[in-house]
Structure 1
Amino acid sequence: MEKLNYQVLEKSGYQGYIKKSAPEKVLQFGEGNFLRAFVDYFFDCANEKTDWEGKGVLVQPIPQGLTELINGQEGLYTLYLRGSEKGQKVDQKRVISFVSRCINPYKDFDAVVKAACSEELEYIVSNTTEAGIVYDPESKFEQCPPNSFPAKLTKILYERFKAGRKGVVILSCELIDNNGKELEKCVLQHIDDWKLGEDFKEWITAENIFCSTLVDRIVPGRIKDAEEVEKLEADNGYKDDLMDVGECFGVWIIEGPAELEERLPFKKAGLNVQVVPDVTPYKKRKVRILNGAHTGFVLGAYLSGQNIVRDCMHNETIKGFMNKMLYNEIIPTLPLDKEDLMDFASAVEDRFNNPFVDHELMSISLNSTSKWRARNLPSFEEYVKEKKELPVCLTMSLAAYIAFYSSDIQERTEDGLICRRPKGNTYKVQDDAWVLDFYYEHREDSAEELVHAVLTNEKMWGEDLSQIEGLEKKVTENLLNIRENGAEKAYASCL
């Protein structure tokens, strides 16, 4: 079977949208599954739905990468967006034609510089992993390329400045807080260290916009089933070594000045991309609602006999518990438009019900102590502060966390705590060593003793939770309910 390229695609009879040529307006550091299923998808849709007319040049961020595969397919690849929307199964195929080419900077850094100095360039995008945005004093200007991504960026922006070009919009997609601001800090530090001059520094701050962004789309990437890949390629009429898969839900929040929304092509295209003055509330929305829902219900759901997230959405008690926690206890504490929050929460149920992703509860359970503290405790405390009472479901969720970490403890292994769930099988709790040691040391405690020890452990929570009126008594009652009647009935008692 022939490999995907424009000629092969035409022969295959593909009827979807394709853009063969356009000016290269985007320089993107990163060529992995996520960027291709997220950023490149949005730009591709903007080409189809507006008069923006742009292509993207990808830059391979590390010495090993996809440059040869991407160029071998003339930048084309097939993207499947799969999931559930309003309870209906969604499986959309789109051939992405936004990418013009890929450059390996370790073989041809001059090509990156040339692309960066182009008059047509408008945007620089990056997703170089969380470790990518760090200041590295070992990165030098004379290196080709410099070691770190911020150093590479500083060097190519300097060349653009010297060429007399206008500034660009830099969209940072790395999964760290204030990713754009942190990237700009690193660039300014390199300018000082490399003595590149005040004029260049002024051009950086005045002419360029470093945007912090929040990205939200689950991208499994490859289809693991070889038979399914073979069938898809047979149906498509071509071989595709860059086939990519993401969930159908996707939202990109970009922090920047209001005029940026008109400058970017996404609003005109009707895409789920928002420009906001501060990305922080949206990050809080994602952590509290999406991540908070996961951590809030999965531990009890696992004890009740469930194994994957999707099946939990088909259990009316567990789904009802999650929704009551979201709509009655978490959303009222968040500082965003309530309709926006309700829409986001509504999408969560669809995302958890994705028929294409077997998301295991045990994988979500990793490090649940720090997760509950970061994702659920703030909602819990703000609810108590506002309502002057305990939130029913979040309080039960805390008891379920304790139950999961203390269910018939068998042994403490090198990397976990072996517990037994009511179904009879054992499972491994994985967390920081001191957390596992704590629960193992308290394995003989009564429910009352264990709850007291957990709530007063300030290392776990940053405070003594037993000081919250009525909490210790209620968590103890809930823990006994879970142990005696099962987690599902305990969840049902909250509804």
Structure 2
Amino acid sequence: MRTPILQFGTSRFLQAHADLFVSEALEKGEALGRITVVQTTGSPERAGRLAALAAPGGFPVIVRGRKDGREINREQHVTSVARTLSTASDWDEVVRVFCDESEVVLSNTGDTGYRIGQVDLADAVPASFPGKLLALLHARFQAGGRRLTMLPCELISRNGEVLKRHVLGLQADRYPDSAFSAWLSEKVIWANTLVDRIVSEPIEPAGAIAEPYALWAIENQPGLTVPCRHANILVVDDLTPYEKLKLHILNLGHTVLADIWMKENRPAEETVKAILGDAGIRERLLTIYRDEVIPGFAAKGLGKQAEDYVAATLERFDNPFLEHRMREIANHHAEKLVRRIVDFKAWTPDVPMPRLTAIVAAQ
């Protein structure tokens, strides 16, 4: 059993995104092959998930919502995962698969996945994901150093460049070898990616419920290998427009609604769908999109793309099956205001944005 795709992370997002895409592509003969999934945290409560991910019949992904005006409610079984391992108990096998089989490496290690502690490299199996990845890359280099594509899916801008910077920083301390350093820069393809899909609920022990909308945009560069061909995977020359559209329309809209939810002391368990059921609040958001957000994108030559993305975003917000709670969106509100609103105003400084300005000023 050879698995050319190696995935770090067992999140419900990856189950309903990359794993599902590869499964659908395999049915058409348009994927590199199947996936080995590696758990990096050693969390004992996820042991059952590991077994279920590689079950012979696959695991379920339910896609529910609206797309292009149509209601969608379908269940699929994902059969792309061939093997599961844990860095806590299967490190030697992880090294072997990484060196002998892998052509593409995916990761989705959460908000703290790139955090590196002061004693990160003290043990044979480093504590952080960048530390583990460095050790694996060094083993691959020593085994002949075949080319490899890294496709991080963490929600970090320019995530490939950020991960590369972390790994090279650790490499200088643990493996101060100029040949290894050159290989990391020349033979490892560190791709910047953007992922976009709301995966609202897990299915235990493995599986997920997701919206119909899905995007995996990958910035092209020489030597890039993608895991499969799929309608929701776009290889693009520049990720910037896709990042800006998501951050300053979808995410900005969430933050505007969260600001209203907190300031007006609305119900604790209110969802995006429910708050937009208030006609007055809906009109406030639509006005911001129409008078401030779309003109801002138009000033950058992206007016039509912004109009289309706003329409898709509103359809996603109105998903009748999605229980996306405002209290979850409101987490880290002050930080999100900066990234989603303040940075948008700075990106398009000549476009008047009185309502967005007022939201920021009131903090």
Note the residue ranges of structure 1 that are not aligned, 5 or more in a row.
1-21, 224-239, 403-453, 461-495
Residue 32 of structure 1 is matched in structure 2 by 11
Aligned in 2, Cα 1:38/1:336: closer, same or farther, shift over 3 Å?
farther
**CA 1:191–1:379 in structure 2 vs 1: closer, same or farther (change >3 Å)?**
closer
Secondary structure of 2:201's match? Answer: coil
Shift in Å at residue 70 of structure 1? 3.0
Q: Which position in structure 2 is the counterpart of 1:264?
A: 226
How many angstroms apart in 1 are the aligned matches of 2:80 and 2:5? Answer: 10
Decide which of 227, 240, 256 is 1:296's aligned counterpart.
256
TM (norm. structure 2) is 0.85
The one-letter code matched in structure 1 to 2:13 is F
- Residue number among 278, 282, 299 corresponding to 1:319 in the alignment: 282
Contact 2:61 2:208 (C-alpha < 8 Å) held by counterparts: yes
Q: What amino acid is aligned across from residue 274 of structure 2 in structure 1? A: D
Deviation at 1:256, TM superposition (A): 3.3
Are 1:250 and 2:218 matched, yes or no? Answer: no
Report if aligned partners of 1:139, 1:147 keep a CA contact under 8 Å in 2. Answer: yes
Q: 1:342 aligns with which of 289, 307, 310?
A: 307
8 A contact 2:53–2:81 mirrored in 1: no
Q: Which runs of 4+ in 1 moved over 6 A?
A: 381-384
| SS of residue matched to 2:160 | helix
Task: Give 3-state SS (helix, strand or coil) of 2:191's partner.
Answer: strand
Q: Distance in 1 between matches of 2:315 and 2:176?
A: 51
Aligned residue number for residue 212 of structure 1: 192
Q: Which runs of 5+ in 2 are unaligned?
A: none
What value does the CA root-mean-square deviation take over the aligned residues? 3.0
| 1:190-240 alpha-carbon deviations (Å, 9 max, x no partner) | 3221235222211111111111222221222325xxxxxxxxxxxxxxxx6
Letter in 2 for 1:101: R
State the Cα distance separating 1:385 from its structure 2 match. 1.6
Q: Return closer, same or farther for 1:52/1:72 CA change in 2, 3 Å cut-off.
A: closer
Matched AA of 2:291:
N
Q: Secondary structure at the match of 2:200?
A: coil
Structure 1 residue 60: Cα displacement: 0.8
Q: Would the alpha carbon gap of residues 64 and 384 (structure 1) be closer, same or farther in structure 2, given more than 3 Å must change? A: closer
Match of 1:158 among 138, 149, 169: 138
Q: Does 1:285 align with 2:245?
A: yes
Assess if the C-alpha contact under 8 Å between 2:5 and 2:32 holds in 1: no
- In the TM superposition, residue 50 of structure 1 has moved relative to its aligned partner by 4.1
Amino acid at match of 1:291: N
- Write the mapping of 1:86-485 to structure 2, written as runs, cut at 5 A: 86-118=68-100, 120-140=101-121, 143-222=123-202, 241-257=205-221, 260=224, 263-264=225-226, 266=228, 268-269=229-230, 271-297=231-257, 299-300=259-260, 303=264, 307-334=270-297, 335=300, 337-366=302-331, 368-380=333-345, 385-386=350-351, 390-391=352-353, 394-395=354-355, 401=359
Q: Give the secondary-structure state (helix, strand or coil) at the position aligned to 1:101.
A: strand
SS at match of 1:220: strand
Distance 1:319 1:201 in 2: 53
Give the greater-gyration-radius structure (CA): 1
| TM-score normalised according to structure 1 size | 0.64
Identity of aligned residues (%): 28
Q: Is the 8 A contact 1:135 1:150 kept in 2?
A: yes
Over 3 Å counting, the alpha-carbon distance change for 1:336 and 1:251 in structure 2 is: farther
Aligned partner of residue 202 in structure 2, secondary structure: coil
User: Structure 2 vs 1, CA of residues 384 and 278 (structure 1 numbering), >3 Å: closer, same or farther?
Assistant: closer
- One-letter code aligned to 1:352: F
Relative to structure 1, the CA distance from residue 221 to residue 300 in structure 2 (aligned partners, 3 Å threshold; closer, same or farther) is: closer
CA contact (8 A) 1:34 1:221 kept: no
Matches of 2:155 and 2:32, distance apart in 1: 29
Query: Does structure 1 retain, via aligned residues, the 8 Å contact 2:113–2:129?
Result: yes
Against the structure 1 CA distance between its residues 360 and 378, is the aligned structure 2 distance closer, same or farther, given a 3 Å change threshold? Answer: same
Q: Tell whether the 8 Å contact from 1:257 to 1:276 is kept in structure 2 after alignment.
A: no
Change (3 A) 1:326 1:50: farther
Letter of the structure 2 residue corresponding to residue 293 of structure 1: G
Change in Cα spacing, 1:325 to 1:257, as seen in structure 2 (3 Å) is: same
Partners in 2 of 1:49 and 1:336 — Cα distance?
37
Secondary structure (helix, strand or coil) at the match of 2:217 reads: strand
> How far off its partner does 1:345 sit?
1.4
Q: CA 1:134–1:379 in 2, change beyond 3 Å: closer, same or farther? A: closer
How far off its partner does 1:342 sit?
Answer: 2.4
